[in-house]
Structures are given as structure tokens and as C-alpha cells.
Amino acid sequence: MGIPTAKKVVRIDGQRYQLPLCLLLFGLVCWVFFPSIHGAFIKYDDRAYVTGNPHIQGGLTLANIVWALCHRVSANWHPVTQWSFLLDYQLYGLAPWGYHLTNVLLHAVNTVLVFWVLRRMTGATWRSLMVAALFGLHPLRVESVAWISERKDVLSTLFWLLTLWAYTRFAEEARKPGGKAKCFYGVGLGFFVLGLMSKPMAVTLPCILLLLDYWPLERWKQQTLLSLLVEKIPFFLLSAIVSAITYVAQRNDGMMKDLADLSFGARLENALVSYVRYLSKLFWPVDLCALYPHPGQWPIELVLFSGLVILVISVLVWVQRRQRPYSFTGWFWYLGTLVPAIGLVQVGAQSMADRYTYIPSIGILMVLVWEMCRIAKGWRYQKVIFGATGGAMTLVCIVLTRHQIGYWKDGVSVWSRAVALTENNCNAHYNLGCTFYSLGRMDEAVRELQEAVRLKPGFAIAYNALAHSLTAAGRVNEALACYQTALKIRPDYVPAYNNLSALLLQSGRVDEAIIHSRKALEIDANDVTAINNLGCALLQNGRVDEAIACFKKALQIKPENTATSNNLSAALASQERLANAPSAAAR
């Protein structure tokens, strides 16, 4: 009689509580984030994604589904995110509560998936539960959930976690003869594609699969590193393709214009400092806001300190990788998943953003919870202490998150918070000024926009917005000066030409309005606003036939433009009156 071979068995503790714990997590996250459904659309990408997007407002049609697949929004290609907005519009119209509700539900599902997937990989129910609870209820999650435009965060993470689940099942089936490994591999690859089509930040996932091979799946013990790398070639190829598409799209749309102002050294310094700042906000989540301005240069002592912190932790994690394999996976999970957003390739004006911690924070929370268990191992009241500590941390997160949600109820609260917490934040002042303008609070709009251009004298877009506000406040001469300043800064800035032309026309300076409309058309011959402005100016100048030609050309480019249709009708009526004038005089 032979001796039976021992098989590795992963003990899954608390298995009978799995479904109730999932329901508890889902309900708790929904309850904590429920106040966010009372929030409004925010004038910070929400217009591009929803409120000012005619395709989204066309509803869930085949044409709009194809449009989302073939076009980018805000310099990003993420058709799955756009499809979700199409569905939301079909269900809720332009009621913001519906879009917020979708974000909350997706985040609650993600929290459950963190628990489900981590438990599946490790067999540790209670530790996985604590990681999931801290992830789902942390105040750093507020920006990703309460800001409608960050649908891409919660949606891409849904597919990211489903990919991890499928990969875990693939690893399990690969150990069995005749298992369904290929099936789960294909499912995982499909989920990964959907994640990339939701937000390009998912490109780091193949590296995370390699980390999971080390711990907790421990596939490095059965296979060589080369074989594990070869196995993931399709994932890496997809990441490379989407990275290239994203880079080209953002460069062509001007999202990387700040690269010219920031050397690679300055961007590297910001990356080092941001890694440490993200850690500090994870453990001490106070003074959170929508936009942390890039300082240009950080103090050298802060850069050196940040670099030293990262180096020391990385060395310790490497040295202790056998005794604490969870720290190896968790720490490099954190470092790796932040790479696309850490600022080495600068996109936008921020130095960091709370939303970028959505996936990276999971790695640090794994290290924290597993290390807590290791420290408490052998203590007399280990379970009581672990449970009490976890409960206290969760309660603190709930209180802070509920408080933070209050700063995301509308544009005024979001940008007032950013202005209050940061210094020299010209973009926060600009956005706050634009929000005041949209609410008809012109004096406050002028004040904030003046501060924006004071902080950044070369801010042409802010000068254009300031001129708008001054015009609405009846300060026409100041508005004209601001438009002219904007055009000195950016001679190719078509919106400023259009706005200046319209204001000149209102002021009776028709010849000057014609000149500026023509300058706009020299830059963009198909700009409908410029063509329409030129037509209005020509009509006032008595050049009716030329005006009609302009209006007809504008309608060829944009047939649904009501204002142009009305102008054409007025021009045709004027033409008819002129034609009838001689016969009327003869009578």
C-alpha cells in the first residue's frame, strides 16, 4: 500500500459568512456614500462628458454607440465609460442624482469584489474583509465616487477586479489536469480589454498579475519567471497599444502642453514627493480637495527625503520578501499602479489627485492588514484586538468620508474648498469663477477670475472667461481689453476672437467685428461661431447677400444650429424687403 501524497490545501476561514459579509459591505458602502446622490454636475469635465455632449444626450442609439467607439472625450479614448453615460441618459435624462447613483453602486460592487477576490486568492476571510472595508469607506474614494466624470475610475476598477478573479481561477485550473484554464484566461483577457476601454490607467495590470504570482498565488514556485512573462504577452501587448493611443490622443489635444514648462527632472521630483504625499493622505486623510497645484519645483530637502523614504521601504520589502511576501506584492502594487498618473508624463496642471489612489491604495491596505495580523499573532486576545482595531479604523473612515462628501455637493463647494486649502491655485480660482458666472454671480466671478490671471498672467483662457464676466457685469471697455490681452497671449485663440467680435458688434463697431471674425476664420475656416458672427456683422453692414452666404455655409457645417437658422431667416426677410422696396416706392 503506497503512502498518499500530501496536497496543498488552502484553508478558507469564515466561509459560511461570505454572502452575509458581501451584503453587509455593499449596504454599508451605499449608505455612507448615499448623500453624494444629492450632488450637482460639476463644471470640471462633466460638461464634456454629459451636460454639453450632444451625443450622450442623443440617447442609447447605434449611431451614438459607434461614436463612443470611434471618438475620444477630454483627450481620452474610453468608449465603455461613454456607453455607461449613454445608458444613464436613457434612464435619467439630465438628472444628476441618477449618474451619482450609478457611481455609488459601482463603487459598492468594487468593494465587494476586493473582498471576494482577495479572499479567493488568500483564503483569509477576515483580513480580506478589513482590506475591502478600508478601501471602500476611505475618504480618498470620495472624488472617484462623487464626481460624475470619474465614472471611468469605478468602471475600469470593476473590470480590473473581475480580471483578477478570472486570473485567480485560471491559476487554480492550471494546476488540475484537464482543467478550464484556457477558458478563464480568455475571460480574464476580455475583462482586461473592457477595463482598458473604461480608463487607460488599467495598463499596469499585467505587472500586478506577476506580483500576484509571487504572493498569494505562489506560482513562482512552480514556474520560471520567463514562462510567467510569456504567458502574459497578450496582456502586455494590449497595454502597449492602449498606452500609445492615449499618449498620442493627449498630446494632440494639448493635454501635455505643460511638458514644455517642466523638465524631466522637475517631473521626477514631483513623482517622488507625490508617492510620499499619497501615503500620508492614506494614513492621515485630511485637507483633501479637487486640485493640488503643481509647484514647478519642490524644495530639494523634501525631494531627497521622499526619495529616501521610497528607497528604504523598497529595500526593507525586498530583504523581507520571504518572511513577508504580502509586503513585497502590496508595496510594488502601490508603486507600479501609480506610474501612469505619478506625473512622469505630465497631463494637466495638478501635482497629484485623490482619484489616482483608487487602485494603488489596495496594495498598501493589504500590507497594513496582514502586518497587523502578523504583529498580533500569539496575543491572548488577538481576535478581539484585531476586530476592535479594524472597527475603529472603519468608523473613523466613515466619519471622514461623510464629511468629505459635503465638499462635493456643487461647483462652488468643490472649488471654494480647493481655494481655501491650497496656495497659488490659479486653476481653482478659474473654475470657481466660471462656476459663479454660470450662477449669475458676476461680481464674485470677476473677483475669482482676476485672481486667476494675477497668479498666472499667461492664462489666456482665464482672460477670455474674465472678459465674459465683465461683459455680463456691464463693464464693456474692461472686457474688450481682456479679450485683446487673451489674443496677445494666444494669437490663435479662436474663442477669444469670436467673443471679441460679438462684443464689438453689440457695441456698434461693425467694421472691427468683421475684421476679428475674418481673423478667426483664417485660423479655422469651419468654425461655425466665427462664420455666424461674420454673417451678423455683414448683415448689420447692409451686405445682405454676403451675410446669407455665411449663414448657409454655417448651416452646412452644423445643420441643427437654431441661432444660425434664425439669422438666416432674418437675412432672407431683409433681402425680400430690399427687393420689394423699389416697387413700393414706385406705387
Q: Is it the case that residue 584 has pLDDT exceeding 50?
A: no
Q: What is the largest CA-CA distance in the chain?
A: 126
CB atoms within 10 A of CB 321: 17
Res. 120: pLDDT tops 60: yes
Q: How would you label 412-422 residue by residue, b for 16+ Cβ within 10 Å and e otherwise?
A: bbbbbbbbebb
Q: What is the pLDDT of residue 572?
A: 85
Q: Is the pLDDT of residue 576 over 80?
A: no
Q: Are 402 and 413 in contact (CB under 8 A)?
A: no
Assess whether pLDDT exceeds 50 at residue 587: no
pLDDT reported for residue 573:
84
In the chain, the amino acid numbered 51 is T
The CA-atom distances, in angstroms, between 512 and each of 468, 492, 520, 536, 539 are: 18, 18, 13, 13, 14
Confidence of residue 580 (pLDDT cuts 50, 70, 90): low
Q: Provide the pLDDT confidence category of residue 579 given band limits of 50, 70 and 90.
A: low
> Where does the pLDDT of residue 262 fall: very low under 50, low under 70, confident under 90, or very high at 90 and above?
confident
pLDDT tens by residue, 417-476: 999 999 999 999 999 999 999 999 999 999 999 999 999 999 999 999 999 999 999 999
Q: Which three cell numbers stand for residue 365?
A: 491596505
Pick the CATH number of 411-580 from 1.10.357.10, 3.40.50.1400, 1.25.40.10, 1.10.10.60: 1.25.40.10
- What does the domain layout of the chain look like in residue ranges? 15-408, 411-580
pLDDT in tens, 48-71: 999 999 999 999 999 999 999 998
pLDDT digits (tens, 9 = 90+) for 274-308: 999 999 999 999 999 999 998 888 999 999 999 99
Confidence of residue 255 (pLDDT cuts 50, 70, 90): low
Average pLDDT over residues 521-536: 92
Residue type, 411: G
Q: What is the pLDDT of residue 245?
A: 85
pLDDT confidence of 175, banded at 50, 70, 90? confident
Separation CA 524–CA 501 (nearest Å): 15
| Residue whose grid cell is 470619474 | 150
Q: Write down the mean pLDDT value for the chain.
A: 90
Looking at residue 8, its pLDDT comes to: 42
Per-residue pLDDT at 581: 53
In degrees, to the nearest 5, what angle opens at C-alpha 59 toward C-alphas 53 and 62? 110
